[in-house]
Amino acid sequence: MRQKKWFLLLVLVLSLGLILAACSGGSDDADSDDSGTEQSEGDTSSESGSDEGAEESGDAEQVLNVNIRTEPPSLHPGLATDTTSGAVLNQVFEGLMRINQEGVAEPAMAASEPEISDDLLTYTFTIRDDAVWSNGDPVTAHDFEYAWKWVLDPENADTDYAYQLYVIKGAQDAKENGGSLDDVGVKALDDKTLEVTLEQPTPYFLDLTAFYTYYPVNKNVAEANPEWALEAGEDYVTNGPFLLDTWEHKNKVVLTKNPDYWDADTVKLETINMFMVDDENTALEMFNAGELDWVGSPTDSVPLAAIPSLKDEGKLNISPLAGVYYYAFNTEAEPFNNENIRKAFALAINRQGIVENITKGEQQPAMALVPPSIWEENNEGYFADNDVEKAKEYLEKGLEELGLDSLPTIQLSYNTSEAHAVIAQAVQDMWNQNLGVEVELNNEEWNVYLDTMGAGNFQVGRMGWLADFNDAINFLEIFESVGGNNYTNWEDAEYQELLVQSRTETDPEARKEILREAEAIFMDAMPIAPIYFYTNVWTAKDYVKNIEVSGLGDVQYKWGYIEK
């Protein structure tokens, strides 16, 4: 690169790679701290002919060791909003549907596909007879109604994913406008029959019912102990393929096979040890020492410097991931309350340089919000990458509008991670060289960082979003209103109206045009600077079988096993 500091940074990364390559055969991942969540490419460690392989797994100890990096912020399905929490919840709970290895929603707690009314608004689910909670209670339709309405109850704070339920009739009105929970379109007709009425036809609704915000909660236990989800123990009652055996905070989560799970015969793994090792290099050393069986996506990251050698050795797996890595601007505070300043900073980033020289996991430069795996048009995006001259023009306009001669020092924040640190250092140098702005870096541990971002105590902050379901609305609705996962504090009435229109549009092409128009408004306002579209990047031991990482950043251990 032309900039001296940027060049020295790359030399440092490459030099580190030489050191790591001599002592490691590790792996890498796009990121595991982001909210939300494919076919493997070159995967030599996770696929197998499942039935035959499952029989062969009998002699091997069925223990899987993985790294989730950090303490899960919440193991309550109604409170969780991040992939670390989701990685645990997806193993110990189960919704009406579950996304299978092919990425298709299939009946789980539901005994079969639901009955759907002719107008596509009413879904009637029958709960399977052999569905039981880990304490022996039957799973009932009342547990689903209770869990969903608990999230929608305005009295329950920090339910940032409540909007995932807004496709249900009356849900948004109950949460935001004082509407009655009795009018919400979810009703247990009896112990085994759940009727759900939607606001409008929603083609991805069955996918939503596999997402953790839609998981049931044992009504009797939760009402008796409101703090049931804070610790492992007899009150942490679940219904999935695994049980939460122990939760050593900031150290390790241990899952064990649930013998009472309705499909227990499919589950081969007996124990899953989930370590909380925040340093990627330490995790890689543990992998090489046989203490971890998997490093990288979706719960961990491979050290950047180890990626080239792993590629050369044919040990690195890379697959598409519907997610975007971005920097959020605090649009309520000067100078990023100015649109032209935001545009200047966004255009002064060399994304191609970042993905080629730093991340090296086949990520794609992002000049849009919605990933090209959902909208192919976004391979190009809304602006040119590394358009320094245009960035300077925007900076000049912004300074004039703010009545400033120059900008004060800007703070760029990120959560603790080798990759985030190196990217932030590169962007720090780009903004200094291209815009003449001094930038100081600030990093915090994940849970602290989320609190800082949520409180608005930042200027520019690293965030990322992984799709919860494969639809553009999942990215666009994050920024529909201030709060929740919208850390930018930006909102726009025309943008909001377009999202409302999209929810009642039944023609797929017309709906897409409405959403594309909304994205254009968003990108013109530039409340974020998109950096790159994610990929899944990981490596695993050869004996780890039938575990695949999805295009939404999820991993299912239900079908996995160890074969030695």
Please name the residues in contact with 36: beta carbons below 8 A apart, sequence gap of 6 or more: 83, 323, 465, 466, 467, 468, 474, 552, 553
Looking at residue 314, its amino acid is G
CB contact at 8 A, 123 and 195? yes
pLDDT attached to residue 320: 87
Neighbouring CB atoms inside 10 A of 520's CB total 14
Q: What are phi and psi of 455, to 5 degrees?
A: -80, -5
Peptide bond into 298 cis (omega under 30): yes
Compute CA distances 442 → 351, 413, 424, whole Å: 21, 5, 9
Count of H-run helices and E-run strands, the chain: 17, 19
Helices (H), 57-181: 83-92, 141-152, 171-176
pLDDT attached to residue 1: 41
User: How many Å apart are CA 255 and CA 58, to the nearest integer?
Assistant: 19
The bridge status of strand 410-415 relative to strand 439-444 is parallel
In three-state form (DSSP H/G/I as H, E/B as E, the rest C), the secondary structure along 304-341 is HHHHHHHHHCCCCEEEEEEEEEEEEECCCCCCCCCHHH
Torsion angle, alpha carbons of 357, 359, 363, 366, to 10: -80
pLDDT attached to residue 58: 57
Looking at residue 312, its amino acid is D
Closest CA to 205 of 111, 128, 97: 97
User: How many Å apart are CA 546 and CA 543, to the nearest integer?
Assistant: 10
Query: Mapping DSSP to helix (H, G, I), strand (E, B) and coil, where does residue 522 land?
Result: helix
CB contact at 8 A, 533 and 363? yes
Return the axis-axis angle of helices 339-347 and 418-435, rounded to nearest 10°.
110
pLDDT attached to residue 504: 84
User: How many Å apart are CA 542 and CA 57, to the nearest integer?
Assistant: 13
The bridge status of strand 528-540 relative to strand 317-329 is antiparallel
In three-state form (DSSP H/G/I as H, E/B as E, the rest C), the secondary structure along 396-420 is HHHHHHHCCCCCCCEEEEEECCHHH
Angle (CA) 76-133-470 rounded to 5° is: 50
pLDDT attached to residue 503: 86
User: How many Å apart are CA 524 and CA 173, to the nearest integer?
Assistant: 30
Give the largest Cα separation in the chain, rounded: 73
DSSP E strand stretches across 425-547: 439-444, 460-466, 528-540, 544-545
- The tens place of each residue's pLDDT in the chain, 564 residues long, gives 434 444 444 444 433 332 222 232 222 333 434 444 322 222 322 333 333 344 455 578 999 999 999 999 999 999 999 989 999 999 999 999 999 988 899 999 999 999 999 999 999 999 999 999 999 999 999 999 999 999 999 999 899 999 999 999 999 999 999 999 999 999 999 999 999 999 999 989 999 999 999 999 999 999 999 999 999 999 999 999 999 999 999 999 999 999 999 999 999 999 999 999 999 999 999 999 999 999 999 999 999 899 999 999 999 999 989 999 999 999 999 999 999 999 999 999 999 999 999 999 999 999 999 999 999 999 999 999 999 999 999 999 999 999 999 999 999 999 998 899 999 999 999 999 999 999 999 999 988 999 999 999 999 999 999 888 889 999 999 999 988 889 999 999 999 999 999 988 888 999 999 999 999 999 999 999 999 999 999 999 999 999 988 888 889 999 999 998
Helices (H), 112-209: 141-152, 171-176, 205-208
Return the axis-axis angle of helices 508-525 and 493-502, rounded to nearest 10°.
160
The residue assigned the tokens 């999209």 is 502
CB contact at 8 A, 269 and 257? yes
Angle (CA) 162-243-147 rounded to 5° is: 25
Q: Which residues of 415-430 are buried (b: 16+ CB within 10 A; e: fewer)?
A: bbbbbbbbbbbbbbbb
User: How many Å apart are CA 200 and CA 120, to the nearest integer?
Assistant: 8
